Amino acid sequence: MPSIDVSGLVDSEGGLLDRAVITDEQIYRQELRRIFATSWLFLAHIDQFHKPGDFFTTYMGEDPVIVSMDKNRRIRAFLNSCRHRGARVCRADFGATRSFTCTYHGWAYDLQGELISIPNKEGYPEDFRAGDWGLVEVPHLDTYHGLIFGTWNPEPESLRESLGDMTWYMDAMLDHDPEGTVVVGGVHKWVLEGNWKLAAEQFATDWYHVNMSHASALTVLAPGGKPNDEVVHRTGRQYVDPKGHGHGFPVHPKNRFDAQTVHEWTDYAALRERLGEARVEGPLTTGHANVFPNFSYLPVNGSIRIWHPKGPDKMEVWAWTIVDKSMPEHVREAQRLYNLRTFGPSGIFEQDDGENWSEVQAISHGFITNSVPLNYQMGIGSERHDGRHPGITSELYSDAAARAFYGRWRDLMNTPAWHERNDNE
């Protein structure tokens, strides 16, 4: 299959981006082949599976997968497509089952993905072997502090290697205490006009938009209805990962959760002891993050989400609320409501972001518009070791993590994937 050289579309050193990366259909198809079929992708939270047969259906890129616990209590993931005529073998969003039966002709598979029942089996030739027609399995799954990731790459680098120093930042959300995190409520899902990367890059890099886009929300939340200078001129850092991850966060000595009940319950002394001052005063504050390519989270809100690609112009947002398992019920409820009000589908911040992404996308197909590059030059040259946070960091107000995000994107887009390599070479 011919591929497009995207070198000319991403100038990650000069900070320029061609809009074709969010509008071009061929580039989008190439992303499915070279980004989504090769990377570790977030699938689900471990708390969604407690007994054999518990399942959750999601997507890896545009590929539908069933994540489920098999009879030996192992979490596995299978392509949700019948080997016979290709319909999904599980149409539910989540649940518990003993088997997966295709609703078209009735081929049925067990929790290990084996084909166990074929109606009118006598019609098949004698040498038909059911063992050859099990569900296609995702070859590698791994977890990081309760987050389940999977990859189609048959020989991937490990999940830990792929996350690199990003784990130090992720722990600020996922490792508050040894009990870990649990999911509250279900998964919110909504559709947005806009390329998936607009959301992913914003969560990786963009504090800059906060004062403008979220002005009304900030005003509502400010004591006395008037944001002070500290809010508008927030200082902080931005972690810039060479593999495309990013995490921006204010740095603040008196870390402050916005949900009062959660704030009052939180034992900051214990957190300092466990995670260290740099993390409690940094990424544990009101930060934003993206794990390349499309898994994002907001530590203070308890929001984890995935940006499912649905063509170059559309994404589906799937969002979970997670809380510390040790939280008592009334604190969990406070966190759930706080996340719902801020970053739920109708949250006062979420609405602002979705509007921006859809706005950018809606006009980007214009011929002249599409020929005018976008600017990612904020903070060029600011990347450095800051002596307090691992890896390379930049300023809070910076495009550095976006430049790294698109740099990684460009490199993967220009590298033949595992499924394109010729074994004879």
Binding flag, residue 121, another protein (CB under 8 A): yes
Q: Return the number of the residue (117 or 216) whose C-beta is nearest another protein.
A: 117
Note whether 106 binds another protein by CB under 8 A.
yes
Is residue 72 close enough to count as binding another protein by CB under 8 A? no
112 near another protein, judged by CB under 8 A? no
Which of these ranges, 19-27, 70-78, 113-121, 373-381, lies near another protein under the rule CB under 8 A?
Answer: 113-121
CB 205 within 8 A of CB 248: yes
User: According to CB under 8 A, which one of 2, 119, 125, 381 is a site residue for another protein?
Assistant: 119
Give yes or no for residue 358 binding another protein (CB under 8 A): no
Based on the shown chain and the rule CB under 8 A, indicate whether residue 117 belongs to the binding site for another protein. yes
Cβ proximity to another protein, 112 vs 356, nearer residue: 112
Question: 145-176 as b/e, with b when 16 or more CB fall inside 10 Å?
Answer: ebbbbbbbbeebeebeebbebbbbbbbbbbbb
Residue 122 beta carbon to another protein: minimum distance, rounded to whole angstroms: 10
Q: Is 371 left (phi over 0), alpha (psi -120 to 50) or beta?
A: alpha
Stretch that binds another protein, among 72-80, 114-122, 255-263, 375-383 (CB under 8 A): 114-122
x-marked contacts with another protein along 74-103 as a string, rule CB under 8 A: ------------------------xx-x--
For residues 180 and 325, what is the distance between their CA atoms, to the nearest angstrom? 6
Choice between 98 and 233, CB closer to another protein:
98
Q: Which is nearer to another protein, 128 or 277 (CB)?
A: 128
Kindly state the smallest distance separating residue 137's Cβ from another protein, in Å.
Answer: 20
Buried/exposed code over 200-210 (b: 16+ C-beta within 10 A; e: otherwise): bbbbbbbbbeb
Closest CB to another protein among residues 118, 348: 118
Please tell me the chain's helix, strand, coil percentages from 3-state DSSP, rounded to the nearest 5: 35, 25, 40
Measured CA to CA, the distance from residue 63 to residue 65 in angstroms comes to 6
By the 10 Å C-beta count (0-12 exposed, 13-18 middle, 19+ buried), 212 is classed as exposed
Distance in angstroms (rounded) separating the CA atoms of residues 96 and 234: 46
- Cβ neighbours of 254 (radius 10 Å): 7
Tell me, residue by residue from 261 to 280, as one string, x for binding to another protein by CB under 8 A and - for no binding: --------------------
Query: Which single residue is written with the structure tokens 């960091």?
Result: 393
Q: Tell me, by CB under 8 A, how many residues bind another protein.
A: 11
Task: Kindly list the residues in this chain that would bind another protein in the complex (CB under 8 A).
Answer: 98-99, 101, 106, 108, 116-121
